[in-house]
Amino acid sequence: MTAPTAQNTGPSRRLAKGGLIDRSQPLEFDFDGRPLSGVAGDTLASALLANGVTLVGRSFKYHRPRGILTAGSEEPNALVELRSGARREPNTRATMVELYDRLSATSQNRWPSLEHDALSINRLAAPLFGAGFYYKTFMWPAALWERLYEPLIRRAAGLGRAADHEDPDRYEKATAHCDLLVIGAGPAGLMAALTAARSGARVILADEDFRLGGRLLSDAPEVDGAPAPLWVDRVLGELASFPDVTVMPRTTVFGVYDGGTYGAVERVSDHRAEPLPWQPRQRLWRIVARRSLLAAGAIERPIVFGGNDRPGVMMAGAMRAYANRFAVAAAREAVAVFANNDSAWSAARDLSRLGVRVAAVIDVRERVDPALTAPLAAAGARLMLGSRVIATSGKRLSVVEVLTGGKRETLKVDGLAMSGGWSPTVNLTCHLGSRPVWNDALSAFLPGSLPPGMTVAGAANGRFGLAACLADGAASATAALADLGFAVPSAALPRADDDPAGLIPFWHVAESKGAAFVDHQNDVTAKDIAIAHREGFRAVEHLKRYTTLGMATDQGKTANLTGLAIMSALTGKDIPETGTTMFRPPYSPVAIGAFGGSHRGKAFRPTRLTPTHGWATEHGAVFVETGPWLRAQYFPRPGERDWLETVNREVTAVRTGVGLCDVSTLGKIDIQGPDAATLLERVYINGWSGLEVGKARYGVMLREDGMVMDDGTTARLGPTHFVMTTTTANAVKVFQHLEHALQVLWPELDARIASVSDQWAQIAVAGPKARETLARIVDAPFDLGNAAFPYMAAAELTVLGGLRARLFRLSFSGELAYEIAVPARQGDRLVRALMDAGAPFGITPYGTEALGVLRIEKGHAAGNELNGQTTAHDLGLGRMMSGKKDFIGRVMSNRPGLRDPDRPALVGLRPLPPGARLRAGSHLIPVGQPTDAANDQGYLTSVAHSPTLGHAIGLALLAGGPRRIGERLRAVDPLRNEEVEVEVCNPVFVDPQGEKLRV
Amino acid sequence: MRIPCPYCGPRDAHEFTCLGDATLTRPDPAAPDAASAFHDYVYRRDNPAGPHRELWYHGGGCRSWLEVTRDTRTHAITDARFAADRSSAAQGTEDRP
Amino acid sequence: MSDSRLNSVRHGRADGAAGVRATPLHHRALATLVAGRGQTAALAERIGTRFGLCLPTTPRRVSSGSVAFVGVGPGRWLAMDETGDGLAFETALVEAAAGHASATDQSDGLVLLRLSGPDLRRALAKGIGIDLHPAVFRLGDAATTPFALIGTTLWRIDGGGHAHDLTVEIAVARSYAADFLQALTEAAAEFGFDLHPTARG
């Protein structure tokens, strides 16, 4: 926290009466540690101004003192850090922050204090930070860049600080649907929403402000002969009576997407110190709208002149809004107005009426309608036509220097309202790639071709008059709804006047003294644009990148057009020839948290639980995420030192007694119909038609490019009924693959598939005592004997006295093993029954770690080997490929490159020093050869400590593969800087003859 | 983007996965030029600017494979139909249910 | 329903009536029915004869007595029987289909919930992308679509309340059910969420 900045306040500038604020509700807040107070209805900006705080930040590069420029979301200057601790948020626009009690804000980018900023010395080093400074700096010696310039620039330039802690708030995402989405609740938007509502359409009216009305609040006109806010309240009251109309204040529609989809962020709780219980901080909306109406209004643009960034210089419309809506005088003594158009005269008139002394109105035009000038002249303002401001001075504005009648004159004022005219807010019309078109008469870009379903109304469409906006809103909504088949009742338009909107194009005071800013946020001056021009960066996209014009949080809302106009003057081309920058989403910054919504932390993606999850939890399982599943990784027992001891025990139990493991996570697909076997023939590399009912077979699937996609066992339960298992990881992918085969490749096949992954709880019972264990739960007269139910047998039966079950004699571990399936709700009952049945044999639950060790001991390829780059041959499964049929991947798997005997193929590895550890990912290098890419012959895919063999074992993909059994190699792990000598061996480490699984 | 699924109605593109070009037909594996035909089928793709027929799988909905006609320049979708109808019509077999 | 409300569990906002209510339906036989290629018409005739209803060809729920069929895809239905046992229902479907379709018991594969309440549509909008406005998602309409990235099938039923009140039944794969309920609880918390004990149905 910095020392209080005593100078940065003054007596209250709150006007004695008026404004759309609630003076009965005072709100305390602090800025840079100083206690201040505002009222309900204030923004942070209006409250700061009311307290006389005109200096609110330091600029991005030059650390120039900056004040509040605007009263809306286009604000480039007044960026503050809001809140503290974990809720600290940088770069919030004070003009958009709704004041709440105990709000705390801090100015950014200043050191040691806002008032005395040491780095404002940067202003003296301005040439260093001029246009293209990043690029030029990179051309200096590289060694200096990293050590010197980058840290210097990082400290000197920049915006606010992000919070250091995890965001404590919730975010939500939601979808809404409507017939008409109205974007912006000014006169055009309100009129459109009302018209649509009365026709019975489903309407969403969204506005970024917390109070709806747009310019009706800031300009204080009359509608139907009464103050406009009364009309706004009446409209909102009527809208509230329609059940299918949703009014969304504090909601920015930030993006237009394909298919009539709009992105919006609702700031649900940002106007509170903390969200209310059960409320998110923000809600991200995906709005699906049949039609949309953009009524986003217009943004006033600055004039580029010397010192146009000094605190006290403000947009004329903003000064008008602070006076009318917030009852705040932006200056204490007197203001001058500098403009090229009529709207600034209306602003001056309002200020004067509300008691703010208007010292002078300076207009670049020689003639202005006397109806505008007369009231101000009568109020004592000097009318300086054909004149321009060339400089300002004072830390806070105190003097304005004017060039008038060929002479320089100074005016003592503490406020300067400027207006270079208005730019329709066409941003959203460009989000699908179209560009706005230049209109000479209005000196503005108007919407070009529009996103499908969108129309534009009001000031956003270049209709600046109030009456015109109301009429345009009603007419546009009527047209859009008629298009959708709604009968729109006609209604009289409210009475209103059109403000005069005369203007001559004027952008830059050539006679300016001192820095004249184009882009206040990025500290881009008119001189920077001249440099870009001189150095050849004239195309608008080059201009942007070279000068940073239009970048950062405001995306050049007040700067783009003036920058373009100045470049146009330099090149001698007109503005449309010079170009326009594209607008892309988001319209204004959106917190990343809002895009994540509720999907973060444990809810990042959905989690699946196995049928035995509760039982495993009771038994102290440690769980691991495998894809979406939470599976038991191992079951530690008291006294075990580490996971390895646990896993060794579990593996040994399976090898010597019996263990059980929930394998329900395997994908299970029911395949029925007359062509079921044909489907299998076409998706698996091996033969299926000959498989007997009551038997299962191991199958391998390829992708069409010949690489292995998945493997698993499929059992034949009836002549036209199979049940396929897939790996856990590929369950969804294989189902999609089968649907592709049936719907796209061979729609003539009659095979019917259904996922039964969730229907069955499936438990592997493995080990020499597996049969004896199962025998105790299988209902008579089912015969488990080796002859009646041999290896790879499959049957439907009952267990535990009538419980429907399926039994498969399959083995992943290489032991005598079965997989037994029961309906999922019975999984818990089954596992407890198996634990009881196996108790005499010491039945041991095992998890995915032991499962992994068992399969590596048996040399079974799994996820690490089925990596999308291996063929059946690579994995030693080539002999399974049937030569009698076609199947997906057959043709491509026979490409010469994939049959190359030197391709990396699956082998086993054992370390030569007994007790040495192997590391997965280690590269295999010939003994005596240097460790380099030329000698890299493969790598270890899977490693484990084998408790059965008492040493480490590994699987590897090694060039030349099995023909190198017996060779010695170096397994080099360059990440850990380790290496170990290994011997290539058969990948089946345990029971290579497969005798144990057939007993 | 929204895709008008002929079974489910218009749905957000999040519910779908795109496989790409729908104009390709799996070559005859027994043909003498099968190796080169499969090479083209697996790897060669046109990249048209304009209307493009694509295969999309409605995995988040009815699990239909769809043939969607999408303009690659504007994302405008002018047609979406069941891929099975297209395939079976081409092969002269009866339509799907 | 009114009986079971006595011992329901409230989540989220505690005051006032719950905006969203959920009741698990544990005792329904469920099965997927998949038509053979080009056999939908023949199947519809047989199912119609056996169960006295017209098999829907669109995402709709059609019921007769205790049995209902929900269209979940072309030639694919989720069939249910409020009184049956899973295997028996599967067998009944296989017999009725007489080779024109295959049936697979899913009574354990899916968890079924009945959801209702004045704020149900707003709560579901936080996870579901489709339009559930009562004029669009009408009585008997069904949809298969993800809620909070979790696959679901839901259909609108007559909850006995106001014509605009939304009452749906929703089916979720069993392994996802806990996560689904968690996501639903979070979405409904601001409205007050009553989770009822099991009901028959």
Phi and psi angles of residue C109, each rounded to the nearest 5 degrees, phi first: -80, -25
> What would the mean pLDDT of A257-281 be, rounded to a whole number?
97
ipTM: 0.96
Pairwise pLDDT comparison (A645 vs A490), residue with the higher score: A645
Contacts with C, A 181-220, CB within 8 Å: 202
Query: Are C100 and C127 within one domain?
Result: no
Query: Whose CA is closest to B27, among A788, A892, C69?
Result: A892
Q: What is the pLDDT of residues A954-964, one digit of tens each?
A: 999 999 999 99
Q: What is the pLDDT of residue A115?
A: 77
B1, B83, B93: residue with CB nearest A259: B1
Query: What percent of chain C is predicted at pLDDT more than 70?
Result: 94
Give the C-alpha separation, A186 to A214, whole Å: 4
Is residue C200 in some structural domain?
Answer: no
Task: Tell me the chain A residues in contact with residue C136 when contact means C-beta distances shorter than 8 Å.
Answer: 177
> Among A667, A649, A992, which Cα is nearest to A853's?
A649
Pairwise CB contact (< 8 Å): C57 & B97: yes
Q: Please give the DSSP secondary-structure letter assigned to residue A276.
A: P
Residue B13: list chain A partners with CB under 8 A.
258-259
pLDDT of residue C152: 98
> Domain A667-756+876-893 is in which class?
alpha beta
Mark yes or no for CB contact C73/B7 under 8 Å.
Answer: yes
Residue B32 lies in a domain: no
Closest to C87 measured CA to CA, from C61, C63, C108, C101: C108
pLDDT of residue B97: 40
C10, C57: one domain: no
Residue ending a domain, choose from C60, C81, C105: C105
Which residue of B lies nearest to A287 if distances are taken between CA atoms?
A: B12
| Best mutation target, A623, A758, A760, A822, to test chain C (most C CBs within 10 A) | A758
For residue B79, being part of any structural domain is answered with yes
* A175: confidence class by pLDDT, cuts 50, 70, 90: very high
Q: Across the interface, do C110 and A279 touch by the CB < 8 Å criterion?
A: no
Q: Which DSSP helix (H) or strand (E) runs through A232?
A: helix A228-240
Q: Is a pLDDT exceeding 50 seen at residue A2?
A: no
Average pLDDT of the residues in A690-719 = 97
**Full domain range(s) for residue B77:** 2-22+45-90
Nearest to B7 among C59, C130, C146 (CB): C59
When CB atoms are compared, the residue of A749, A750, A825 closest to C108 is A825
pLDDT over 60 (residue C59): yes
CATH of the domain at C191: 3.30.1360.120
Domain A173-297+451-483 in this protein, CATH class: alpha beta
Q: Which helix (H) or strand (E) holds C123?
A: helix C120-124
* Domain count for chain C: 2
Asked whether residue B10 is assigned to any structural domain, the reply reads: yes
Residues C55 and C130 in one domain: no
- Our CA angle for C179, C183, C189, nearest 5°, is 140
- Chain C, nearest residue to A286 by Cα: C129
Q: What is the average pLDDT across A470-493?
A: 96
Are residues C122 and C163 both part of a single domain? yes
- Are residues C184 and C172 part of one domain? yes
* C198 against A994, higher pLDDT: A994
C56, C76, C105 — which closes off a domain?
Answer: C105
Spatial separation of the C-alpha atoms in residues A478 and A489, rounded to whole Å: 9
What average pLDDT does chain C have?
93
- Residues of chain A within CATH 3.30.70.1400 domain(s) are 667-756+876-893
User: Is A286 an interface residue toward C (CB < 8 Å)?
Assistant: yes
Distance between CA atoms of residues A721 and A699, nearest Å: 16
C28, pLDDT greater than 90:
yes
* Contact criterion met (CB below 8 Å) for A909 and A956: yes
Compute the C-alpha angle A600/A603/A606, nearest 5°. 135
On whether the CB atoms of residues A623 and A633 are closer than 8 A, the answer is yes
Instruction: Please report residues of A whose CB lies closer than 8 A to that of C86.
Output: 823
pLDDT for A145 equals 60
Q: Which of C39, C76, C129 sits opposite B12 (nearest CB)?
A: C129
Q: How many CA atoms lie within 13 A of A359 on its CB side?
A: 19
Neighbours of chain B (3+ CB pairs under 8 A): A, C
**C2 band by pLDDT with thresholds 50, 70 and 90:** very low
- Give me the mean pLDDT over the B87-96 stretch: 44
The pLDDT mean for chain A works out to 94
Tens of pLDDT, residues A107-134: 987 766 777 776 666 666 665 667 776 6
Who's near A130: CB < 8 A, 6+ residues apart? A527, A528, A531
* C113 and C178, same domain (yes or no): yes
Q: How close does chain C come to A483, measured CA to CA in Å?
A: 19
CB atoms within 10 A of CB A107: 26
H or E segment to which residue A227 belongs? strand A226-227
Q: What's the sign of the alpha-carbon dihedral A238, A244, A245, A247?
A: positive
Question: Which of B1, B7, B65 best tests the C interface by mutation, with the highest count of C CBs <10 A?
Answer: B7
Of A215-219, B5-9, C159-163, the least confident: C159-163
Residues C14 and C51 in one domain: no
Mean pLDDT computed over C147-153: 97
Residue C201 lies in a domain: no
Q: How many CB atoms lie within 10 A of CB A489?
A: 10
Range of the domain at C119: 4-26+109-195
DSSP string, C75-109: TEEEEEESS--HHHHHHHHHHHHTTSEEEEE-TTT
Whether B6 is covered by a domain: the verdict is yes
Per-residue confidence band for A922, with pLDDT thresholds at 50, 70 and 90: very high
CATH 2.40.30.110 region(s) of chain A? 901-998
* Angle formed at CA A809 by CA A798 and CA A829, multiple of 5 degrees: 40
Which segment of A217-231, A568-582, B68-82 scores lowest on mean pLDDT?
Answer: A568-582
Question: Which residue does chain A place closest to C184, by CA atoms?
Answer: A598
Nearest CA-CA partner of A456 in A438, A436, A440, A433: A436
Are C73 and B63 a contacting pair at CB < 8 A? yes
pLDDT digits (tens, 9 = 90+) for A20-66: 999 999 999 999 999 999 999 999 999 999 999 999 988 888 888 99
Q: Alpha-carbon distance A952 to A946, whole Å?
A: 6
What is the tally of structural domains in chain B?
Answer: 1
Does C77 fall in a domain?
Answer: yes
Give the CA count within 13 Å in the CB-facing half-sphere of A520: 31
Helix (H) or strand (E) holding A189: helix A187-198
3-state SS record for chain B: CEEEECCCEEEEHHHCEEEEECCCCCCCCCCCCHHHHHHHHHHCCCCCCCEEEEEEECCCCCCCEEEEEEECCCCCEEEEEEHHHHHHHHCCCCCCC
Contacts of A608 in chain C (CB under 8 A): 173, 175-176, 179
Q: Rounded CA gap, A105 and A32, in Å?
A: 6
Give per-residue pLDDT as tens, A654-682.
Answer: 999 999 999 999 999 999 999 999 999 99
Give strand ranges (E) for A719-873.
721-726, 752-755, 760-766, 794-799, 803-808, 817-823, 844-845
Among chain B residues, CA nearest to C146 = B60
Kindly report, residue by residue over C127-143, the tens digit of the pLDDT: 999 999 999 999 999 99
Per-residue model confidence (pLDDT) at position C159: 86
B17 domain-assigned:
yes
Domain containing residue B57: CATH number: 3.30.2270.10
Neighbours of A510 (CB within 10 A): 12
- Measured between beta carbons, the chain C residues lying within 8 angstroms of B97 are 35, 38-41, 43, 57, 74-75
Residue span(s) of chain A under CATH 3.50.50.60 come to: 173-297+451-483
Cross-chain Cβ contact C59/B97 below 8 Å: no
CB atoms within 10 A of CB A969: 25
Q: How many CB atoms lie within 10 A of CB C113?
A: 23
Contact status, residue A177 vs residue A260, Cβ threshold 8 Å: no
C-beta of residue C188 within 8 angstroms of C-beta of residue C119: yes
Domain match, C65 and C93 both? yes
Question: Looking at the domain assignment, is residue B7 inside a domain?
Answer: yes
Are the Cβ atoms of A606 and C148 closer than 8 angstroms? Answer: yes
Please say if the pLDDT value at position A519 is more than 50.
yes
Domain check: are C45 and C64 in the same one? Answer: yes
Q: What is the pLDDT of residue C61?
A: 98
**Residue in B11, B60, B96 nearest the CB of C74:** B96
DSSP A462: T
Q: How far is C173 from chain B (nearest CA, A)?
A: 13
Q: What is the pLDDT of residues A828-844, one digit of tens each?
A: 999 999 999 999 999 99
In percent, the amount of chain A with pLDDT more than 70 equals 95
Instruction: Using an 8 Å CB-CB cutoff, list chain A residues near C35.
Output: 752
- A599/B contact by beta carbon, under 8 A: no
The beta-carbon neighbor of C145 closest among B11, B82, B96 is B11
Contacts of B93 in chain A (CB under 8 A): 747-748
- Report phi then psi at A987, rounded to 5: -70, -15
Which residues in chain B are contacts of C144 at CB distance < 8 A?
8, 60-62
* A803 pLDDT more than 50: yes
Structural domain includes residue B8 = yes
Mutate to test the interface with C, among A608, A722, A806, A828 (most CBs of C within 10 A): A608
Across A294-298, A396-400, A547-551, B23-27, least confident range: A547-551
CATH of the domain at C60: 3.30.70.1520
Give chain C's contact residues with A (Cβ, < 8 Å): 12-13, 32, 34-39, 86-87, 101-102, 104-110, 125-126, 128-131, 133, 136, 148-150, 164, 173-176, 178-180, 182-183, 186-187, 189-190
Architecture per CATH, A901-998: Beta Barrel (2.40)
Whether B66 maps to a domain, the answer reads yes
- Banded pLDDT at C4 (limits 50, 70, 90): very low
Report the distance separating Cα A459 and Cα C163, nearest Å: 41
Distance CA A788, CA A871 (A): 36
Same domain, residue pair C149 and C117: yes
> Over 70: is that where the pLDDT of A619 sits?
yes
Q: Which of C105, C124, C155 is the last residue of a domain?
A: C105
